[in-house]
């Protein structure tokens, strides 16, 4: 087989994958852009319980508790201290005793090793059992909603009324609702004296905001048609009776995957519950400034997706998941594997072109200028367009700016950002092969800044 034939075959295969993905992007963009705000409901129809899993969160937990308790005065806040090495539990106890009294809406769920530090899902299960004990066996559970919020999370003040709407928890068949996710530090540069580091950290946080508020929000909106809206680890609202239906005798609605949020959604959907997504409210969280911490986080997410492949049979056999829904969920679970395949296939045409050019430059130049360049141009365009489109959309829809050139620039930056997932997919695979399934907490920006300050003071 000649080099030109091999080049054409690999290029055609990679181009097919790119075209398929581009079509997928077009399909999800239209519902996202056409969606209008929906009516809200009455939060008083439900009882709300915030679960806040914590592991060494002293730097952020005080302000998070204050925000939740002042913004949602009738909601209970359950802080799970996963045997922190810092003063997380002490901070919670101090706030509990504020003003010389005791706050009946603030609860601490302490965990101790060796049971502690075994994953976010186990920490949430501990809060679920503590809530059950606190409520008692005779309590009404139909109107109780559990809200999972990260230790740095800030749910928008309107989130309860939005989730109480008739098409969300006002519908008895809805088991869970996921909020839109925003980055709270998009306009706040990292505390470093290095101007390049400040620019890069700010841009990385903005690209995370772009990813969640456009691409992921569009995917979630389109999943409303397939009935497969998935849960996120922050801003996740779940009906208590839905958790009861999948908890089992061990009272464990959350399971052992590193992607415990998606895993929860799988169990809810296959149990017959429907899930919802709303961009009418949001939860704000910190975007990561550090590329190293970003890669660690995304490696964990990729590995969790790989672990959830064990649910393919469950999804396929479930009578509650449509054929289209099963196909969509299987496509999502295939993403890290497709990224592994793509990282092997996409470079081949360029490697072969370089190698052939080095062997016979004149012949390859004639072939390239004779029309082959068109195929390369199409190949490159289809590889970039699915990511480029989100830059202008983010600029127009989220930033309310008509600066087209800046939007295109953001699109190119987002394309480079997405290609880091090819790296994290390989990292996730190596961790999976080596049996490294442990959960590692991503350090907060405030912790990073404190460490840098200590180093400077030293």
What is the full DSSP assignment across 132-185? HHHH-TTS--TTEEEEE--TT-EE-TTHHHHHTSTTTTTSTTEEEEEEEEEETT
On whether residue 282 sits in a domain, the answer given is yes
Whether residue 94 is found in the same domain as residue 189: yes
Q: Write the pLDDT tens digit of every residue in 162-192.
A: 999 999 999 999 999 999 999 999 988 888 7
How many domains is the chain built from?
Answer: 2
pLDDT at 252: 93
Q: Are 315 and 326 in contact (CB under 8 A)?
A: yes
Whether residue 355 is found in the same domain as residue 263: no
For the whole model, what pTM was predicted? 0.86
Which is it for strands 144-148 and 236-239: parallel, antiparallel or unpaired? Answer: antiparallel
Segments in the chain below pLDDT 50: 450-458
Whether residue 287 is found in the same domain as residue 368: no
Whether residue 82 is found in the same domain as residue 14: no
Whether residue 165 is found in the same domain as residue 274: yes
Write down the mean pLDDT value for the chain: 86
Instruction: Please report which helix (H) or strand (E) contains residue 214, including its range.
Output: none
Strand runs labelled E in 12-169: 47-54, 76-82, 106-111, 144-148, 154-155
Instruction: Please report which helix (H) or strand (E) contains residue 293, including its range.
Output: helix 291-307
Whether residue 113 is found in the same domain as residue 232: yes
Q: Write the pLDDT tens digit of every residue in 294-326.
A: 999 999 999 999 999 999 999 999 999 999 999
Could you tell me the CATH number of the domain that includes residue 173?
A: 3.90.550.10
Domain that includes residue 379, residue range: 3-31+342-434
Whether residue 17 is found in the same domain as residue 92: no
Q: Are 60 and 448 in contact (CB under 8 A)?
A: no
pLDDT at 453: 40
pLDDT at 439: 57
Whether residue 47 is found in the same domain as residue 20: no
pLDDT at 455: 35
| Distance from the Cα of residue 61 to its chain's centroid | 21
Nearby residues of 277 by Cβ (< 8 Å), 6 or more positions away: 177, 178, 180, 217, 220, 221, 223, 224, 229
Whether residue 289 is found in the same domain as residue 144: yes
Crossing angle of helices 240-247 and 260-271, in 10° steps, is 90
pLDDT at 458: 32
Angstrom distances, CA of residue 154 to CA of 104, 151, 183, 241:
21, 9, 10, 25
Nearby residues of 178 by Cβ (< 8 Å), 6 or more positions away: 220, 229, 230, 231, 232, 235, 236, 237, 275, 276, 277, 278
Whether residue 107 is found in the same domain as residue 235: yes
Q: What is the CA radius of gyration of the chain?
A: 24
């Amino acid at each position: 087989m000649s080099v030109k034939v091999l080049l054409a075959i690999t290029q055609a295969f990679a181009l097919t994958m790119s075209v398929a993905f581009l079509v997928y992007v077009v399909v999800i963009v239209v519902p996202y852009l056409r969606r209008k705000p929906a009516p809200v409901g009455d939060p008083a129809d439900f009882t709300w319980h915030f679960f806040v899993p914590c592991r060494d969160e002293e730097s952020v937990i005080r302000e998070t508790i204050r925000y939740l308790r002042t913004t949602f005065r009738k909601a209970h806040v359950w802080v799970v201290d996963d045997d922190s090495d810092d003063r997380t539990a002490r901070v919670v106890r101090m706030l509990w005793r504020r003003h010389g009294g005791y706050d009946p809406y603030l609860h601490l769920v302490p965990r101790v090793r060796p049971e502690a530090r075994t994953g976010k899902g186990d920490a949430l299960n501990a809060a679920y059992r503590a809530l059950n004990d606190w409520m008692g066996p005779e309590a009404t559970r139909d109107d109780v909603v559990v809200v999972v919020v990260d230790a740095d999370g800030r749910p928008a003040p309107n989130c309860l009324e939005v989730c109480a709407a008739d098409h969300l928890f006002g519908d008895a068949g809805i088991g869970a609702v996921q909020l839109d996710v925003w980055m709270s530090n998009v306009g706040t540069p990292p505390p470093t004296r290095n101007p390049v580091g400040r620019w890069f950290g700010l841009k990385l946080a903005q690209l995370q905001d772009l990813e969640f508020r456009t691409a992921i929000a569009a995917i979630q909106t389109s999943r409303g048609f397939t009935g497969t809206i998935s849960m996120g680890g922050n801003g996740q609202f779940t009906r208590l009776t839905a958790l009861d239906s999948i908890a089992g005798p061990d009272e464990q609605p959350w399971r052992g995957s590193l992607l415990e949020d998606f895993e929860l959604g799988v169990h809810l959907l296959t149990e017959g519950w429907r899930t919802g997504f709303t961009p009418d409210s949001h939860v704000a969280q910190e975007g990561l400034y550090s590329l190293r911490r970003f890669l660690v986080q995304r490696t964990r997410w990729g590995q969790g997706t790989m672990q959830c492949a064990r649910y393919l049979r469950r999804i396929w056999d479930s009578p509650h998941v449509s054929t289209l829904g099963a196909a969509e969920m299987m496509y999502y679970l295939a993403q890290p594997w497709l990224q592994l395949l793509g990282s092997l296939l996409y470079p081949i045409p360029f490697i072969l072109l370089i190698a052939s050019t080095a062997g016979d430059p004149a012949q390859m130049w004639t072939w390239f200028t004779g029309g082959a360049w068109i195929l390369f141009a199409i190949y490159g365009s289809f590889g970039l367009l699915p990511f480029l489109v989100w830059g202008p959309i983010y600029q127009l829809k989220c930033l309310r700016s008509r600066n087209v050139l800046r939007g295109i620039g953001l699109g190119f930056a987002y394309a480079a950002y997405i290609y880091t997932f090819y790296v994290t997919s390989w990292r996730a695979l190596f961790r999976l092969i080596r049996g490294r399934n442990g959960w590692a907490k991503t350090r907060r920006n405030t912790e990073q800044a404190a460490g840098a300050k200590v180093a400077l003071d030293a």
